[in-house]
Amino acid sequence: MAPEALQSARDRYEQYKRHRFSGLVSGLVVFGILAALPISLNYQFFGLTLAGFLTVKILIVTLIWAYAAQAWNIMSGFTGQFSFGHAAFFGLGAYATQFLLVGFGVNPWIGMLVGGVVASCYAAIIGALSFRYDVSGHYFALLTLAFAELMRNVVLNVGQLNGPHGFFRPFPEEYASGYGLAAFQFQSDLPYYYLILAFLALVSALAYGIKKSAIGTYFVAIREDEETAASMGIPVSRYKMLGVLVSAFFTAWAGTFWSMYYSTINPESVFNVLRNVEILLPAIIGGPGSILGPIVGSFLVIPLGEWARASFTQIYEMHLLIFGLALILIVMYSPRGVVSWPRRLQEVLGLVGTETQEEDSSSATQEGD
């Protein structure tokens, strides 16, 4: 059906996709666009400017959740261990950073690494216990939620962490030589944007590396069928643990960034039940298990939510309505996420057969656990 030109273009695209550096090139293109985005906000396209819809602040929030979702993806998208408790790691990152910064004047970059290690330790406890006692399905999701709620209640009641009041981020002069990268604080929003973009690039590159390596193959094997993977000689628990640790470590960085960008943290803001959802939302919308998914998903829902929050100032629950509807519709009608839409469109148009599951098929779609 398709004309010759289209056919040859598609062939060339297939060729490109098989090329060794195609991932690198695609990554550069995506991150090139993201890097150019805040600068191009004020350019006129057909009489419209992007600034009407997007601000640098919204872009930063979008990237924070894209980053956190990418970290969540490494555990839940790749290995299929569905976590509903990533707020624990997010909050631990935020709290470790601010506790060390406010209490001991420790530089937030060190705090960030400490936060990552602390979150990984907490994740190791969760992982060790749940894999040891073979917790899966509903029980695993509830268990991760329980660990997140446990952390919220612990922090609420510990006086050294200021209980329900949390911490105020200090001024940079108090622990460094003023604003700048070393202090993790800037006077304008733009440097924050490029910082979180660098974080996102780092964790995306890592996720890509994992996915293309033998580890990624093991992860997917575990996700698809744990028992078969074990019978093939893959040390299942060890690889699941690896996914959990890496995921927690980088999720904590999102907490650090959040605590340095906004001026206060408290248990209700960083360990909130809704945080768990905000972290997995972009990955679910975009397509769990794919690298592009969390980024695409975040750009689809977060700006919309922020826009709703800003436009309906009296109705500040509007963004939750959008998030809720997006979750319901995507999981019910397109559980492989938005990144599967081009393929589905082709299928609908009859350009390709409805064969084979795509390589990027999501954890949320697989039948049977």
Interface residue list for other proteins (CB under 8 A): 82, 84, 129-130, 133, 135, 137-139, 141-143, 145-147, 149-150, 153-154, 156-157, 163, 273, 277, 280, 284, 315-318, 320-321, 323-328, 331-332, 335, 363-369
Query: Least distance in Å: CB of 319 to other proteins?
Result: 8
Between the CA of residue 6 and those of 1, 19, 121, what are the distances in Å?
10, 20, 52
DSSP classification of residue 77? I
Nearest to 80 by CA among 72, 88, 92: 72
In this complex, which beta carbon is closest to other proteins, that of residue 165 or of residue 212?
Answer: 165
Instruction: In whole angstroms, give the CA distance from residue 216 to residue 219.
Output: 5
Residue 154: CB minimum distance to other proteins, A:
6
C-alpha closest to that of 262 among 187, 184, 169: 169
Q: How far is the CB of 86 from other proteins (least distance, A)?
A: 14
For the bound state, the minimum distance from the C-beta of residue 109 to other proteins, rounded and expressed in Å, comes to 31
Strand 48-49, strand 167-168: pairing: unpaired
For residue 265, list its beta bridge partners.
167
- How many C-beta neighbours within 10 Å does residue 366 have? 17
Q: Which is nearer to other proteins, 291 or 364 (CB)?
A: 364
Q: Detail the DSSP E strand segments found in 152-239.
A: 167-168
Inter-residue contact 335 to 77 (CB < 8 Å): no
| Residues 6 or more apart in contact with residue 104 via CB below 8 angstroms | none
* Beta carbon nearer to other proteins, 129 or 349: 129
Alpha carbons 176 and 235: distance in angstroms, whole number: 46
Nearer to other proteins, 84 or 249 (CB): 84
CA distance 364 to 324: 17
Question: The tokens of 312 are what?
Answer: 């309906």
Q: Which is nearer to other proteins, 173 or 369 (CB)?
A: 369
CB of 25 or CB of 142, closer to other proteins: 142
Residue with structure tokens 């039940």? Answer: 273
Q: Minimum Å distance from CB 368 to other proteins?
A: 7
Smallest gap, in angstroms, from Cβ of residue 173 to other proteins?
Answer: 34
Nearer to other proteins, 54 or 148 (CB): 148
- Minimum CB separation of residue 259 from other proteins in Å reads 23
